[in-house]
Structure 1
């Protein structure tokens, strides 16, 4: 019986989050961007950030265009307090494909630095840059289902079912996280309500004690 009373509350609380979650998960989690990376002798990092959940597979495909007297380095990090560095690679050229697994809730950043050769004159430095074509696949979209289909001899329908299985698993995991957040918020609200009730009760008890003692002393003719 207690569970039947609790279900409507959870359903109403989770409905907007569930709708947003379904829309997010059924939207391809592939993030593509193309930009020019300016070269510097002491280059700052240019990072592209994407949200990722713990244990989510992240596939980074970086295609670096040609450019003389330049060296492009790549680093994959996250936004957690630990500032995890998943990998770091120097002097990438052409197409580079990297795979990491997110350790914590937050964002995974793909950072580039374009180092300019010290032999390049200062007046030519502003003309030096490399074109970066970046694709980041996260979660179920990062899995190479074509390779799985070839390895396991799956039909087209079986491959699609395997994709749906991965998406459903992400939904279940995300619902577990959302439910934990909702339950924690509900528990905090109950604790806060109980604290206010306790404070009001103590204040009421204190006022009653004052009037009770005043009446007692009056009966004993100790006060007017």
Structure 2
């Protein structure tokens, strides 16, 4: 239930364009690690730039692991790191139309017992598509003026919209074909 609420909350924040999602990740013993896994997910189309910045706060004798993976037929693992601390960044292009999940685990070493004081603050900043592009660096590199930079941003957003509409059109056609086949089969 908590996981579902966390995913829903993250989806709302991403939809509203929030800068980051922050939460405390409780530490558990290795025996309970799968039950304490926390994931944030978002659907991302194929060949889309994704930029993830994760900041893991301090925590005594706790090991935080991160995994960024999609739910394609053959799952693609974009990042898998153990024992992260501080800030890490990761940028990648998606390989399939799929839901990208960023999952965290916080493990206590042997000899420690689970307690409320064992948790670490996590901050996740997840940008997709045009949001993930660093336009300031691009402007300096290509020596773009303010107007040219704004046009480049708009061009990127328009390309995303066209891509999304093309995807929706293909999906609608597949659903229509399925519906017609079911209708013909039933009657």
TM-score using structure 1 length: 0.67
Bigger share in strand = 2
Q: Work out the CA distance in 1 between the residues paired with 2:63 and 2:118.
A: 11
More displaced 10-residue stretch of structure 1: 183-192 or 133-142? 183-192
Per the TM alignment, residue 100 of structure 1 is displaced from its structure 2 partner at its CA by 2.1
Deviations 1:99-145 (A, max 9, x none): 1222222210001111112243x2x6432110001110011101111
Alignment coverage as a number of residue pairs = 169
Determine the structure 2 residue equivalent to 1:151. 141
| Aligned equivalent of 1:52, options 21, 29, 44 | 44
In structure 2, runs of 5+ residues without a counterpart are 1-14
Per the TM alignment, residue 153 of structure 1 is displaced from its structure 2 partner at its CA by 1.4
Q: Work out the CA distance in 2 between the residues paired with 1:29 and 1:82.
A: 30
| Aligned equivalent of 1:39, options 1, 21, 27 | 27
Answer whether contact 1:29 1:138 (CA < 8 A) is retained: no
Bigger share in helix = 1
Q: Work out the CA distance in 2 between the residues paired with 1:174 and 1:138.
A: 13
Determine the structure 1 residue equivalent to 2:102. 110
Aligned in 2, Cα 1:170/1:72: closer, same or farther, shift over 3 Å? same
| Aligned equivalent of 1:126, options 97, 107, 116 | 116
Where 1:126 maps in the other structure, the secondary structure is coil
Q: Work out the CA distance in 1 between the residues paired with 2:175 and 2:147.
A: 42
Q: Work out the CA distance in 1 between the residues paired with 2:27 and 2:21.
A: 18
Q: Work out the CA distance in 1 between the residues paired with 2:18 and 2:91.
A: 14
Q: Work out the CA distance in 2 between the residues paired with 1:50 and 1:191.
A: 31
Q: Work out the CA distance in 1 between the residues paired with 2:65 and 2:183.
A: 54
Larger radius of gyration: 1
Q: Work out the CA distance in 2 between the residues paired with 1:80 and 1:70.
A: 31
Aligned in 2, Cα 1:77/1:31: closer, same or farther, shift over 3 Å? farther
TM-score using structure 2 length: 0.80
Per the TM alignment, residue 68 of structure 1 is displaced from its structure 2 partner at its CA by 1.3
In structure 1, runs of 5+ residues without a counterpart are 1-26, 200-224
More displaced 10-residue stretch of structure 1: 162-171 or 100-109? 100-109
Q: Work out the CA distance in 2 between the residues paired with 1:73 and 1:191.
A: 46
The reply to whether residue 140 of structure 1 matches residue 130 of structure 2 is yes
RMSD (Å), alpha carbons: 2.3
Per the TM alignment, residue 81 of structure 1 is displaced from its structure 2 partner at its CA by 2.7
Per the TM alignment, residue 93 of structure 1 is displaced from its structure 2 partner at its CA by 1.2
Per the TM alignment, residue 92 of structure 1 is displaced from its structure 2 partner at its CA by 1.3
